[in-house]
Structure 1
Amino acid sequence: MQTRTLGSTGSSVAALGLGAMGMSGAYGASDRSESIATVHAALDAGVTLIDTGDFYGMGHNELLLEEALRGRDRDSYVLSVKFGGLRGPDGRFLGQDGRPDAVRNFLAYSLTRLGTDHIDIYRPARLDPAVPIEETVGAIKEMIDAGYVRQVGLSEVDAETIRRAHAVHPIADLQIEYSLVSRAVEEEVLPTLRELGIGLTAYGVLGRGLISGHWRAGQVAGPGDFRAHSPRFSSGNVEHNLNLVEALREVATAKGATVAQLAIAWVAAQGDDIVPLVGARTRDRLAEALPALDLNLTADDLAEIEKAVPAGSARGDRYPSVLMSSLGVGN
């Protein structure tokens, strides 16, 4: 397994990470035993970075990972945990809490649910507009000094926030959506990360399945599936977006790859400081994703991919309008 370093101060991790959110209901029902088997298969394949959030399934995801990671050498994997997302019993998102006392509280629960004595990378899931980022990062720094956290990460914030946070404590990485259909980070955020020596962990590299090559026209998202409310999957938008996928499929076929492999390889090819996260929920999807790291994309390949899916060509926002305001950058 190839490795990459998360910025100038972060960990050395496998060049492909595993995002566990989909194992806890974000895309509809999932099979617990298959989820655990997928985590095991990822670790056995050399994947070391595992990303979760304390609000994924309201703690379900952390408890699942505790079971999946039980008995594994704690130094053999890197746990990235997002915190602060507030949710109601009906699953609705209620905002973000980045107060220092909340940081300590969320961390205590995560350590217990995950069955570990430390979190490798701890990050607010979103910016709390009521709390200066300096206070939130300062509280994480205190937890680093106390030995409960190893590094500070950020998620879905703009360049100015990154600079302010980095001035309080070195930031290991920013987690943000980055894919062929979500490229807003390229304008200002990515150059800022590189200026400051901060890594990028890219989630949504398959556009939540939109550019995986497996989503079909007319397909309906099941109960509890985020995509049922996603503008990019709505009628009128999804048909246009799937036409982009078909153009990408032609490039992939010429390379002897699947659409998903090409989409993942494209993200990885954008820089050695970027680690794609794949949200595989099954061993089959993981097995498809892993060979993407061996796909060598030439300048001509990248030009063909750009022609198939030009920047800004996707239709629809990446989140429902009620959630777009919480993002540091747009599409």
Structure 2
Amino acid sequence: METRPLGTTGVDVTEVGLGTWQLGGDWGDVAETQAREAIEAALDAGVTFLDTADVYGDGRSERLIREVLEGRDEEPFVATKAGRRLDPHVAEGYTESNLRGFVDDSRGRLGVETLDLVQLHCPPTDVYYEPATFEALETFKDEDRIDHYGVSVERVEEALKAIEYPGVETVQIIFNPFRQRPRETFFREAAARNVGVIVRVPLASGLLAGALTADTEFPENDHRNFNRDGEAFDVGETFAGVPYEDGLDAVDAIGPLVPDGQSMAQFTLRWILDHDAVSTVIPGSSTPEHVRDNVAAADLPRLPAGRHAAVREVYDESVREHVHQRW
């Protein structure tokens, strides 16, 4: 699998990584054996970028990554996140003291002295206007607690503000055929500043994998059940913020654009990777089969310009009104 530079970190990462939210929680029950198999499958397929967070399963995802890596020779680049443990989750809580505690807990669960990358975990917008928060991250670098830092954002405006801080080397953002706004100003600015772009929610919570229907039922502890209206966290994290039924209609419109021999998930991931500003995309999966299918998208040829134009038409006609200005 090809690699791309991750901003100014000096690290090249595989075009397709692995997101591990599904392995921690909020996606129904995933047995630890199954979660380990998914991580193993990613590593077997050559993936060198793993993304996690301290709140995924209350640290479960971080712990599972450590346990799998302890039995292997690979040393992938592991990105984690901090901040969502705050209760209440307010800007005032993003202090050096609180963040140091979160960072140290992640170091312990991942079993490392220095974390590869720490990302502020979708903090309130006001945090991006608090230089002290980013000064704290610089302090953690000086203390060898972390090697690099970045942000995970909900909104394009937050991403643009974050990269004004010179120490921010990466931005994690939602981008897929249902969330196209980042390709405009943000991608241009990120490329100009050599900021790494990590794409999350690439398959819109499974919608863009093409396997969901109007009759699909989700477990009670699956965010696709309990967060459809943003009851637990930003609704943009669930189905990329697109109302479920509208999303299904848009998937039906995209379906004929998928080349023979490709899955819709592969088509979607290839569409994302065709944007050169993207450093890596991190689909999540709890099965080795899906992990391998996702990784294979990196070896597919770029999509013709006409396919990109057709996806944009579907977005403009069916999706834009729901998401474009909101995020």
Once residues 154 and 253 of structure 2 are traced to their aligned partners in structure 1, the CA distance between those partners, rounded to angstroms, is: 32
Q: Which deviates the most, 1-10 or 159-168?
A: 159-168
With the length of structure 1 as denominator, give the TM-score of the two structures: 0.85
Matches for 1:1-331 after TM superposition, within 5 Å? 1-73=1-73, 76-86=75-85, 94-95=89-90, 97-128=93-124, 131=127, 132-156=129-153, 162=159, 165-166=162-163, 168-228=165-225, 229-231=227-229, 237-252=243-258, 254-296=259-301, 297-307=303-313, 309-311=314-316, 313-314=318-319, 330-331=326-327
Q: Does the aligned pair in 1 maintain the 2:138–2:167 contact within 8 Å?
A: no
Once residues 217 and 111 of structure 2 are traced to their aligned partners in structure 1, the CA distance between those partners, rounded to angstroms, is: 37
With the length of structure 2 as denominator, give the TM-score of the two structures: 0.86
| Percent of aligned positions that are identical | 26
Provide the secondary structure at the position in 1 that maps to 2:280. strand
Once residues 142 and 63 of structure 1 are traced to their aligned partners in structure 2, the CA distance between those partners, rounded to angstroms, is: 25
Q: Does the aligned pair in 1 maintain the 2:156–2:181 contact within 8 Å?
A: no
Q: Does the aligned pair in 2 maintain the 1:213–1:259 contact within 8 Å?
A: yes
Specify whether residues 312 and 169 from structure 1 end up closer, same or farther in structure 2 by C-alpha distance, changes over 3 A only: farther
Provide the secondary structure at the position in 1 that maps to 2:81. strand
Give the alignment's Cα RMSD to 1 decimal: 2.5
Q: Which deviates the most, 165-174 or 212-221?
A: 165-174
Once residues 146 and 185 of structure 1 are traced to their aligned partners in structure 2, the CA distance between those partners, rounded to angstroms, is: 33
1:187 deviation in Å? Answer: 3.4
Once residues 157 and 125 of structure 2 are traced to their aligned partners in structure 1, the CA distance between those partners, rounded to angstroms, is: 14
Once residues 170 and 248 of structure 2 are traced to their aligned partners in structure 1, the CA distance between those partners, rounded to angstroms, is: 31
Specify whether residues 220 and 12 from structure 1 end up closer, same or farther in structure 2 by C-alpha distance, changes over 3 A only: same
Provide the secondary structure at the position in 1 that maps to 2:117. strand
Specify whether residues 243 and 128 from structure 1 end up closer, same or farther in structure 2 by C-alpha distance, changes over 3 A only: closer
Structure 2, gaps ≥5 residues long: 230-237
Task: Report the count of equivalent residues.
Answer: 312
Once residues 277 and 330 of structure 1 are traced to their aligned partners in structure 2, the CA distance between those partners, rounded to angstroms, is: 23
Structure 1, gaps ≥5 residues long: 319-328
Deviation sequence 1:273-311 (CA, Å, 0-9, x none): 43111111110111221111122112123223334x324
Provide the secondary structure at the position in 1 that maps to 2:209. coil
Once residues 166 and 182 of structure 1 are traced to their aligned partners in structure 2, the CA distance between those partners, rounded to angstroms, is: 20
